[in-house]
C-alpha cells in the first residue's frame, strides 16, 4: 500500500515508534529510524525492517537540539529523494506533583514531546510542498484531550501537540499535505513501564495496583492498546484512503474519553 514512500519516524528505536516503523515497513515504506538506545539493538531492529524489502537508515539526532533535527530531515531527503511521511513520536515522561516537579524535566519534556515536532515539521513542509503531497502524523495521547494528576509537563506538551496539529493542518491543506494526531490510551511500552514505577511511588501504591486501578481503570475495555491497533490507523492516515482526514485528533483509548 505504501510502496516507494519514505518515512521519518522520531523516537523509533523502541516502543510505539518502533511499532510504527515495523507497520509502515510492512506496507512497503522506507524508514528513517531515530532515537536513543543500545547500538547493537538498534542495528538489529534496522535490519529487521529491511526484511520487508525496504531500505532503513538510522539517524541519532537529539530531539532537544534543533540543528540536529534539521540535519535529520536533510539526510532523509538526500538519502531517499523525498519525504512522504513524517511521524513525530519522540517522547519522554516524568510523574511528579507540580510543587516537586524538577525544572530540568519540565524543559526536557516540552523540548522532546512538543518543540521537536515543530522543528521536524518546519523543515519537512517545504519538501512536501515541492512534492505536492505529504502526511504528517503527530503522536499525541488521550492526555492531549484530558488530564491526569502528576503529569503537568506531559499533559501540557500533548495539549500543545493537538493545537500544533490543527494549525499545521490549516496551513498545508491546499498543498496535498495532511496533518493529524493519534491519541492512544495506555500501551504497554518501556515508557509506560517507567510511568508505572513512578506513579506507584507518587501515589504510595504497588505497581500492580497502578496497572489495574489507575491505568486500566481509565480504559473501559480494561485492556492495553496494542501496536497493531495503532498501526491500522497510521497506515490508513498515510494511504490515499486517508486523504480526507486533516486536522483530526483520533483517539484509540478503549473508551477513555467517552466517559
Rounded distance between C-alpha atoms, residue 167 and residue 178, angstroms: 11
CA distance 78 to 229: 32
pLDDT tens by residue, 59-103? 999 999 999 999 999 999 999 999 999 999 999 999 899 999 999
Give the C-alpha separation, 101 to 140, whole Å.
21
What pLDDT is stored for residue 86 in this prediction? Answer: 98
- Per DSSP, the chain holds a count of helices (H) and strands (E) of 10, 7
Enumerate the active-site residues: 154
* In contact, 63 and 35? CB cutoff 8 Å: no
**In Å, what is the CA distance from 117 to each residue of 51, 65, 69, 113, 250?**
29, 12, 9, 7, 18
Looking at residue 188, its pLDDT comes to 83
Integer CA distances (angstroms), 159 to 31, 69, 87, 163, 176, in order: 27, 22, 17, 7, 25
Delineate the domains of the chain, giving CATH numbers in brackets: 6-185+226-252 (3.40.50.720), 188-224 (no CATH)
How many C-beta neighbours within 10 Å does residue 157 have? 26
Q: What is the pLDDT of residue 196?
A: 87
Burial 2-16 (b: 16+ CB within 10 A, else e): beebbbbbbbbbbbb
What's the pLDDT at 215? 85
Report which DSSP code applies to 31. E
Query: Is residue 191 over pLDDT 80?
Result: no
Q: What confidence tens digit (pLDDT) does each residue in 200-234 have?
A: 988 899 998 998 888 898 899 999 999 999 999 99
- In tens, the pLDDT along 244-255 reads 999 999 999 999
Chain-centroid distance, C-alpha 124: 16
| Predicted pLDDT at 198 | 84
pLDDT digit string, tens, across residues 115-151: 999 999 999 999 999 999 999 999 999 999 999 999 9
pLDDT at 31 over 90: yes
For the chain, report the end-to-end CA distance as a whole number of angstroms. 35
The reported pTM is 0.94
> pLDDT tens-digit profile of 37-46?
999 999 999 9
Residues in the chain, overall count: 259
- 32: phi then psi, degrees, rounded to nearest 5: -105, 110
Instruction: Please tell me the distance from the alpha carbon of residue 147 to that of residue 249, in angstroms, as a whole number.
Output: 16
Q: What pLDDT score does 194 carry?
A: 82
93: number of Cβ within 10 Å: 20
Average pLDDT, the chain: 96
* 195 has a pLDDT exceeding 90: no
The answer to whether residue 2 scores a pLDDT higher than 90 is: yes
Amino acid at each position: 500500500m505504501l510502496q516507494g514512500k519514505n518515512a521519518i519516524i522520531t523516537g523509533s528505536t523502541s516502543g510505539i515508534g518502533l511499532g510504527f516503523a515495523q507497520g509502515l515497513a510492512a506496507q512497503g515504506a522506507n524508514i528513517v529510524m531515530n532515537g536513543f538506545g543500545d547500538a547493537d539493538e538498534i542495528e538489529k531492529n534496522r535490519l529487521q525492517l529491511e526484511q520487508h524489502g525496504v531500505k532503513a537508515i538510522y539517524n541519532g539526532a537529539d530531539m532537544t537540539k534543533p540543528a540536529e533535527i534539521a540535519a535529520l530531515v536533510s539526510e532523509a531527503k538526500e538519502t531517499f529523494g523525498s519525504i512522504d511521511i513524517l511521524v513525530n513520536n519522540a517522547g519522554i515522561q516524568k510523574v511528579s506533583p507540580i510543587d516537586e516537579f524538577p525544572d530540568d524535566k519540565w524543559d526536557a519534556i516540552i523540548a522532546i514531546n512538543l518543540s521537536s515536532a515543530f522543528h521536524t515539521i518546519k523543515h519537512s513542509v517545504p519538501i512536501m510542498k515541492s512534492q505536492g503531497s505529504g502526511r504528517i502524523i503527530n503522536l499525541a495521547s488521550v492526555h492531549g484531550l484530558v488530564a491526569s494528576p502528576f503529569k503537568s509537563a506531559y499533559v501540557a506538551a500533548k495539549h500543545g501537540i493537538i493545537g500544533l496539529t490543527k494549525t499545521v493542518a490549516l496551513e498545508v491543506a491546499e498543498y496535498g499535505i495532511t496533518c493529524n494526531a493519534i491519541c492512544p490510551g495506555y500501551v504497554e511500552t518501556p515508557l509506560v513501564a517507567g510511568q508505572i514505577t513512578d506513579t506507584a511511588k507518587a501515589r504510595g501504591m504497588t505497581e500492580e495496583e497502578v496497572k489495574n486501578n489507575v491505568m486500566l481503570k481509565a480504559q473501559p475495555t480494561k485492556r492495553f492498546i496494542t501496536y497493531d491497533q495503532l498501526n491500522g490507523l497510521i497506515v490508513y492516515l498515510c494511504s490515499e484512503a486517508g486523504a480526507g482526514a486533516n486536522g483530526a485528533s483520533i483517539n484509540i483509548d478503549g473508551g477513555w474519553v467517552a466517559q
